[in-house]
Each structure stands twice: as structure tokens, then as C-alpha cells.
Homo-oligomer: A and B are copies of this chain.
Amino acid sequence: MDKQGIEPGRLRKAPENFLDRAGLASVVQEARNGRRDFIRGAFAAAAAGAAAPLALAQGASTVQDGDPAILQLPEHSTGLGQPVVTDGYGKPSRYERNVQRRQSPGLTQTAQASVSFAPLQSLFGIVTPSGLHFERHHQGWWDVDPSRHRLMLNGMVKQAKVFTMDELMRLPSVSRFHFIECGANTGMEWGNVAVPTCQYSHGMLSCSEFTGVPLITLLEMAGADLQRGQFVLAEGADGSSMTRTIPMDMVRSGAVLVAYGQNGEMLRPENGYPLRLVVPGVQGVSWVKYLRRIEVGDQPWGAKDEAVHYIDLMPDGQHRQYTSIQECKSVVTTPSGGQVLLDKGFYSITGLAWSGRGKVKRVDVSVDGGRNWRTARLQGPVMDRCLTRFDIDWVWDGKPAIVQSRAMDETGYVQPGYRQLRAVRGTRSIYHNNAVQSWLVQESGEVKNVQTA
């Protein structure tokens, strides 16, 4: 950890990691020394720099067929490997042990009411591995016994009901990919604190395939009054007594799930095992974990986490309440803070875009701090209220560059810059910062978080 008590991402502090600067430098040295003929020249061409069309060809060394060095086989090419894994759940490679969720020690007082951030800078595609899913607990996590867990439906219903897990899991379910983002994600930036990596700036964001029963199915079973009942309250079973109000319109559309599955298996304990609410597009706090009760009512509840927390203090001193939907947002994950570009030449700029209001329509990328923008490729399928991976080619000329992304969703909403956001929202918010993120690539290749309007 550095002086701010914040631990940087994988590129700086992982000598065992193959993307580590020291490790790569040794490979370059090895090539220069000619000790491994077959990688001779691997980095020399890249260091020379070149125009865009040639840049792709820089990235590999040349080799002659029959080069004797190829015959020096490593142990894994000659020996007998490990047996099939039947003694436990599979784990990542030992070379990936630096890819971890990380806690920001200065951010919270206790580890039970805290956050661990997902390592976005090390992830690919859109799925977040469940072992790296961000955490936000209000009173710690529990491994709740599913045979004893119950879900109660009450309030404006004909007949209150209690479900066992088995009863829920017998009902028709759906599986859908959705992002989940904490309302406080990127919250430090409100106060001009440029945290060093995108793990800390944007890592309260994850994306999974969730499986569960549409809440509307359960409400219909209980004979809920869907005319007068315009809201539901979701209540968790853990000690934080988390309760959140959900508009019935979201439930009626079938979007809200009472979920038990995540990425093909049961939810993880840190993510609410055995049951959590899935509220697509809405901030994570409403995705109530250890879900034990749904109450139907005719007005919002104004619960503690709706009246005191998760509200937005506006410039006029008033606060916005029930600003639950996560507006359109994006972030470049490579290159991003804490990473190091080892040489000039071709890079694939890539990142994530999402919107709580539907599908991402377009992402533009700038490498000059917002003066010029190019439209990035979106990788499909682009799904509703789901992360979308974008990428765009870039040849770095070795000069300082400010890399940004700006997303637009299918409603036409465009992700704001900080100047635009602050003109409306002021500077005293904690939640719902969806401004354009700026990463400065320095001449040294080191990338740092900077703020530009």
C-alpha cells in the first residue's frame, strides 16, 4: 500500500505477474542478449514505432523454421501433468493471484460495513467471475442455511405467503445478463480525489448472468393488489435490516427477479446467498441480499437507506431522493491508472459501457482530452441494462495523451463531462457520479487518473 493506504493494481506490484514491468523488462533483456534466439527482436521493432497500418506487424518476432532453440522443450512438454480436479472447486492460475478484489482501507471504518472493488483493469469481456464480484456490505456477509431460509410476501395481498427455497426453485425461472453498480461507485471523484486505478474509481461494478423467478409471478400467486399497490418494499435478512422501495412499474414489466443463481451456480454468500433481489438498471443497494420479505404498499417507505443514505445533496442545499437508476456511463479499462505502456506503437483501447435505462447505443473515445472523438466498436450481443465491451485501435506516439470514453444509450442520453455534471449537481454529492473518466498516459508510459472538465 502507498501513503494514501491504497494498493495499486496488478501492473505495479506483482513481480510474479507476466504483465509486470520488471518481468517484461527481463524478457526484453533476454531477447537483446540473444539468449533465446527464437524471441530475438521481439521488442526491438516495437520500440522503433511506426504508422498505424504497420503497427500490427510490430508485435511479434520473426523466426526461421528449424531454429534449434525451438527444440529446448519445457518440463510441461515432456512430463506428466496434474490429474483431473475432483477434490475441490477450480481455482485460477497461481500466476493470477494478484487479480483480486481489494479493499480501500481509508474508505470505511470497519471491514463489515465496507467495500471491496472488482479488478476491472484485469478483466475481459462482460462477465465478472463470481470470485471477483465487488462487495458492499452494511453489516458483514453470512453464509445463510438455505434449508432454513424463507421469503415472505405480505402487505396489500389477498393472502400473505411464505416460500421455502425449494418452492421458489420449482417455479419457472429466467436467466438474464445484467450489470450491478453501487450508487457510490466513482464517489471519491466528486471531491477531486483521483484514486489511482480503475479498480478503485469504477470497481463497484460487476456483471453476471442472474437466474431467478420474476417477482411479478410471486405477487400474482399472493393475489397482490396491482392497482393500488404501486410500490414494493424489499427486506434483507442480515443484521443491517436493509429495506428498499421498488416502483411496481419495474416489477410489472417482469424485469425484477427474485434470484438464486449467478453465473450458472448459486449466488455467492457475499452476494446474498441464497436469495437476492435483481433490479436491473437500479443501484446495487436496491438489489437486497439475503432477501426475506417483500411487502406491497401504496407509497414509498422512506426507509433509512432511502432518507439518510443514497440521496444526492444538490447545490441549493436540498437533496434528491429515489434517484435509483444508474445513468449511462463508461470507463476505459486499458489503458487505465496504474498500468504502464512499455513502448510506443499499437494498443487496443478497451473498456466498458452501461446504462440503467436500456442498451448502450454508441461509445466514443478520445486520446486528446476530449478535443477529438472516434466511435469505438461495440462487442455483441449488446444487452439491456448489461455491460457492453468496447474497443478501438490506437497507435501511441509516446507523447502525453488523455484517454477518455463517452457513452450514449438508446434513449439518446449522453454521458456528461465533469463540468456538465457539476453545473447541475454541484460538488457535494457522494452518489451517482457518471462523468467521463480521464486517464493521462505520461511520456514514461505510466498512466494516472486526472480530472478534466
Does residue A325 face the partner (Cβ distance < 8 Å to B)? no
The minimal Cβ–Cβ distance linking A172 to chain B, given in whole angstroms, is 5
Question: Which residue in B77, B86, B129, B168 is a CB contact (below 8 Å) of A103?
Answer: B86
B124 x A175 contact (CB < 8 A) = yes
Cβ-defined contact, A127 with B81, below 8 A = no
Q: A76's contact among B26, B237, B264, B347, by CB below 8 Å, is which?
A: B237
Residues of B within 8 Å of A65, CB to CB, are 154, 160
Q: Which of A100, A126, A162, A379 has the most CB of B within 10 A?
A: A162
Contacts of A414 in B (CB 8 A): none
A89 CB contacts on chain B under 8 angstroms: 91-92, 97, 100, 131-132
Interface string of A121-140 (1 = CB under 8 A from B): 01111111111110101011
The answer to whether B132 touches A90 (Cβ under 8 A) is yes
Q: Are B393 and A268 closer than 8 Å at their CB atoms?
A: no
Contact between chains at B99 and A85 (CB < 8 Å):
no
Complex-state Cα separation, A39 to B167, whole angstroms? 12
- Which residues of chain B come closer than 8 Å to A164, judged between CB atoms? 27, 39, 42
**What is the minimal beta-carbon distance from A392 to any residue of chain B, in angstroms?**
9
With a cutoff of 8 Å between Cβ atoms, the chain B residues found around residue A101 in the complex are: 84-86, 90
Q: Once the chains bind, are A102 and B81 in contact (CB under 8 Å)?
A: no
Chain B nearest Cβ from A165, distance in angstroms: 6
Complex contact B103–A39 (CB within 8 A): no
Other-chain contact of A265, B85, B88, B129, B154 (Cβ < 8 Å)? B129
In the complex the two chains form, is A99's CB within 8 Å of B221's CB? no
Pick out which of these stretches binds chain B: A108-116, A309-317, A420-428: A108-116
The complex places the Cα of A130 from the Cα of B123 at a distance, in Å, of 14
Is there an interface contact between B239 and A80, defined as CB atoms closer than 8 Å? yes
Known: A56-B171, A63-B152, A74-B237. 7 other contacts (CB 8 A): A18-B145, A61-B161, A80-B112, A81-B142, A84-B270, A85-B101, A89-B131
What are 20 A-B interface contacts by the 8 Å CB criterion? A18-B146, A19-B166, A23-B147, A39-B150, A77-B237, A80-B139, A83-B140, A84-B114, A84-B141, A86-B102, A89-B100, A90-B133, A91-B131, A92-B130, A96-B265, A122-B265, A166-B342, A170-B348, A172-B391, A176-B379
